[in-house]
Structure 1
Amino acid sequence: MDFKENAWIAVLAVLLIGGVAFFAVSDALKAGTNGNPLPPASPSSSAGGNPSASGSPATPNSNSASGAPAAGSGSSSNIALKELQYPRAPSWSSYQGVINGPRGDTFSSEDLKGKVALVDFWTYSCINCLRTIPYVEAWEQRYGPQGLLIVDIHAPEFDFEKNRGNVEMAVKRLNLTTINVLDGEHRIWSAFGNQHWPHMYLIHADGFIRYDHIGEGSYDQTESQIRALLEEQNKSMNMTSASPISVSGANTVDFTQVGSPELYFGGSSRRAPLGNSPPVGVPGAALSYTPPSSMEANRIYLNGSWADDGEDMRLASETGDILITYHAKAVHLVADSMDNKSSVQVFLDGQPYSGPEAGSSGSIAIGPSRLYTMVLTSGYETHTARIHITGSGLRAYSFTFG
């Protein structure tokens, strides 16, 4: 066998050994993440349009974070392994201000370095976001002293949610203690490639996104991931056997029982026409609406003189009505009043109804821009609600159900 033949044999041997090593490493990586593929990307979800996260939480890379966390950070080999398993969290900084911030209006991704952080995208008129708040606040109280940093990113859906005063009012009303970074132009939202409210990203101290969760639910699973990362960061902690937080009074929804989708009022937002739309007129001009004798379920019907302002329908007459046939136990209306003088009285199947926000007279005062609960019954039922409005200037943005 001559020299050339020996050389070819050597080359083939090297290629064979390299191939075996490649597949061994690949198999090891798959085993370390349970080999779960990433679910297909979901379309953009509006506030309340992503009801419950019904599937398993997913990470935005090619593998799920549902398996055991990777080995502790520090060595270059561990970092290289994580580069293959998890995405890095993006860089960002506050540009419109911070509420409850440690340094006024200054905060950025640099403040997360070396910490286990939960970044939570929300907006204050989103009922799905509002239902997660008791859990996020409970995690802040329990795990904040142990090293967890929670940062809420307020990314608005409606124009009124871009107003800092409105957000500050909501943070105060909801008794939030977490850091809230204002993202009125969705710059931070875009940096994460986010498409949902709410959406939580759990970031390790080394800057890798180790877990994420879209929508409501799976609170025990999210909390388990928080404990695992805190223990990984501090080996002296023993948290994996701790019991999940029990949140008293939390409002949970069985979405398999809800038969009504989120509905938008304004022409630039709604996904389906109003039930009794008149001929197309000039945007912003008041038109007369009269409901028919029979109504379809899950369609918005109006009575009175209303103007389409794009995001909302505005009552131009002194009185008017909103009518909806739905199947749920809760009906929420995102609304405001231009002069804070509008009020509503709810009639359920023709009978006066006093909901949780009704005053002694049975009516609900509509003022600042926010979500108002119109109806809350004990079971998931089909009803026709008529919301009678007194006082022009009420603006209705959306219905959500629970």
Structure 2
Amino acid sequence: MSDEDGQRRPFRSLLHRRPDDDRDHLPDEGALAPFTRATAWLNSPPLTPAGLRGRVVLVDFWTFTCVNWLRTAPYLRAWHAKYASAGLTVIGVHTPEFGFEHDLPTVTDRVRQLGIEYPVAVDSDYGVWGDFDNHYWPALYVADADGRLRYHRFGEGEYAMTEMVLQELLRDAGADLDGSLIMPDARGLEVAADWPTLRSPETYLGYGQSSGFVSEDAGLYDLSSVYPGGARLTLNEWDLTGRWTQTRAAAVSGGADGRVSFAFHARDVNLVMGPAAGRGAVPFRVLLDGRPPGEAHGTDIDAAGNGVLDQQNTYQLIRQPGPIATRLVELVFPDGGAEAYCFTFG
């Protein structure tokens, strides 16, 4: 996902050419910030810059529903596995975007589900985020063995560049490395986006950051209302049908057969969603151009389009195997009781 104001900014490589010779070098970007304002630690006791001296440190800002971060996760796990014994410490800083991501038992469970074995600083109050002056999910900061920041990367991608930086700093600290680069096996939500066909942006359903909602009415904010639906949607427009409450953070289904429709252009459709407060498992169904998705179904539904919300998470609804065009995805909640936060695409 993007930074907290929804903006993305272009990345410029931080490898500079020395004017006096032909070697690449990395700039000094200041001291590694502390982690003292973390609210909890997972997989490790609290870590400090002083205690990490002598090790190269990769700090990764993430939140568990962020699809942009999920697509970096295979690399983070692989770098930890390959380089920890050579002197690398990976620290994941979990800074939540949505309210439910503040819940420590939930974060702990997601760390386990995602196979994260490196230390995680839980940053529910944005203290570490502020000390790093960070603005993005995901964001990487790399410090050398002397505790000096030497590289950063905002957003996904540039994995080979990042790994070469890690290797350079580890060698500077005395590690003997062969120079090979990892090639992780990504699956499900962790598979890289199909960038050439991706024309739909991250889209929030709560009025705090919503865009493209054809029936949006500020007079209905935070009120349970019946939306008629039926609008003809053009690319990147979406609509609600049935009884919903549009809150600042989410659209909440309050009646039977509530529907969310989105006109998209991408290989993948994902939606951050979960059961509303006090609800158990919530069934839902996905239609693609009015029909069951068949072989275009995502990992969280079957070919008939059926799925179940059993936790607040990112659900993969569609992964198209064929040519990509503008299409209509619809989610139907037969019994209501769903909270839908944000569409993402890949």
Say whether the fold is shared (TM-score over 0.5).
yes
CA drift of 1:107 comes to: 3.1
1:304 matched residue in structure 2: 242
Supply the distance in 2 between the matched residues of 1:47 and 1:216 (Cα, whole angstroms). 18
Q: Do 1:57 and 1:214's aligned partners in 2 also have CA atoms closer than 8 Å?
A: no
CA drift of 1:108 comes to: 3.1
CA drift of 1:306 comes to: 0.4
Counterpart check, 1:197 vs 2:137: yes
Match among 79, 90, 95 for residue 33 of structure 2: 90
Supply the distance in 2 between the matched residues of 1:279 and 1:88 (Cα, whole angstroms). 46
Counterpart check, 1:371 vs 2:310: no
Question: Rg bigger for which structure?
Answer: 1
3-state DSSP of counterpart to 2:344? strand
Supply the distance in 2 between the matched residues of 1:48 and 1:176 (Cα, whole angstroms). 27
Supply the distance in 2 between the matched residues of 1:248 and 1:185 (Cα, whole angstroms). 34
Supply the distance in 1 between the matched residues of 2:138 and 2:257 (Cα, whole angstroms). 35
Match among 314, 322, 329 for residue 385 of structure 1: 329
Counterpart check, 1:230 vs 2:173: no
Change (3 A) 1:57 1:47: farther
Q: Report the AA paired with residue 336 of structure 1.
A: G
Larger RCO of the pair (alpha carbons < 8 Å, separation 6+): 2
Q: Report the AA paired with residue 372 of structure 1.
A: Y
Structure in which a larger fraction of residues adopt helix = 1
Counterpart check, 1:322 vs 2:260: yes
3-state DSSP of counterpart to 1:335? strand
Change (3 A) 1:46 1:392: same
1:165 matched residue in structure 2: 105
Supply the distance in 2 between the matched residues of 1:366 and 1:174 (Cα, whole angstroms). 18
Q: CA RMSD in A?
A: 2.3
Q: Report the AA paired with residue 227 of structure 2.
A: Y
Q: Report the AA paired with residue 45 of structure 1.
A: D
Match among 168, 171, 183 for residue 246 of structure 1: 183
1:25 matched residue in structure 2: none
Supply the distance in 2 between the matched residues of 1:222 and 1:144 (Cα, whole angstroms). 15
Match among 164, 186, 205 for residue 126 of structure 2: 186
Supply the distance in 1 between the matched residues of 2:218 and 2:171 (Cα, whole angstroms). 63
Supply the distance in 2 between the matched residues of 1:230 and 1:155 (Cα, whole angstroms). 27
Q: Do 2:231 and 2:239's aligned partners in 1 also have CA atoms closer than 8 Å?
A: no
Change (3 A) 1:64 1:351: farther
1:3 matched residue in structure 2: none
Supply the distance in 1 between the matched residues of 2:55 and 2:37 (Cα, whole angstroms). 18
Supply the distance in 2 between the matched residues of 1:130 and 1:48 (Cα, whole angstroms). 18
1:45 matched residue in structure 2: 3
Supply the distance in 2 between the matched residues of 1:49 and 1:334 (Cα, whole angstroms). 19
1:274 matched residue in structure 2: 213
1:209 matched residue in structure 2: 149
Match among 12, 16, 20 for residue 56 of structure 1: 12
**1:2-24 residue CA offsets vs partner (Å, 9 max, x unmatched):** xxxxxxxxxxxxxxxxxxxxxxx
Q: Do 1:155 and 1:183's aligned partners in 2 also have CA atoms closer than 8 Å?
A: yes
CA drift of 1:394 comes to: 0.3
Supply the distance in 2 between the matched residues of 1:173 and 1:275 (Cα, whole angstroms). 37
Change (3 A) 1:55 1:273: closer
Supply the distance in 2 between the matched residues of 1:135 and 1:252 (Cα, whole angstroms). 11
Supply the distance in 2 between the matched residues of 1:347 and 1:49 (Cα, whole angstroms). 31
CA drift of 1:92 comes to: 2.9
Match among 24, 44, 57 for residue 68 of structure 1: 24
Change (3 A) 1:195 1:245: same
Q: Do 1:308 and 1:314's aligned partners in 2 also have CA atoms closer than 8 Å?
A: yes
Q: Report the AA paired with residue 251 of structure 2.
A: M
How many residues are treated as equivalent by the alignment? Answer: 332
3-state DSSP of counterpart to 1:224? helix
- What TM-score, normalized by structure 2, do the two folds share? 0.89
Q: Do 2:37 and 2:127's aligned partners in 1 also have CA atoms closer than 8 Å?
A: no
Counterpart check, 1:348 vs 2:288: yes
Which stretch of the first structure deviates more once superposed, 350-359 or 164-173? 350-359
CA drift of 1:206 comes to: 0.9
Q: Do 1:166 and 1:369's aligned partners in 2 also have CA atoms closer than 8 Å?
A: no
3-state DSSP of counterpart to 1:124? coil
Supply the distance in 2 between the matched residues of 1:265 and 1:88 (Cα, whole angstroms). 39
- What TM-score, normalized by structure 1, do the two folds share? 0.77
Q: Do 2:38 and 2:128's aligned partners in 1 also have CA atoms closer than 8 Å?
A: no
Supply the distance in 2 between the matched residues of 1:373 and 1:108 (Cα, whole angstroms). 37
CA drift of 1:327 comes to: 0.4
3-state DSSP of counterpart to 2:65? coil
CA drift of 1:357 comes to: 1.4
Q: Which runs of 5+ in 2 are unaligned?
A: none
Q: Do 2:292 and 2:303's aligned partners in 1 also have CA atoms closer than 8 Å?
A: no
Supply the distance in 2 between the matched residues of 1:295 and 1:352 (Cα, whole angstroms). 19
Supply the distance in 2 between the matched residues of 1:388 and 1:58 (Cα, whole angstroms). 46
Which stretch of the first structure deviates more once superposed, 148-157 or 286-295? 286-295
Q: Report the AA paired with residue 337 of structure 2.
A: G
Supply the distance in 2 between the matched residues of 1:391 and 1:161 (Cα, whole angstroms). 25
Change (3 A) 1:158 1:315: same
Q: Report the AA paired with residue 356 of structure 1.
A: T
Percent identity over paired residues: 27
Change (3 A) 1:47 1:386: farther
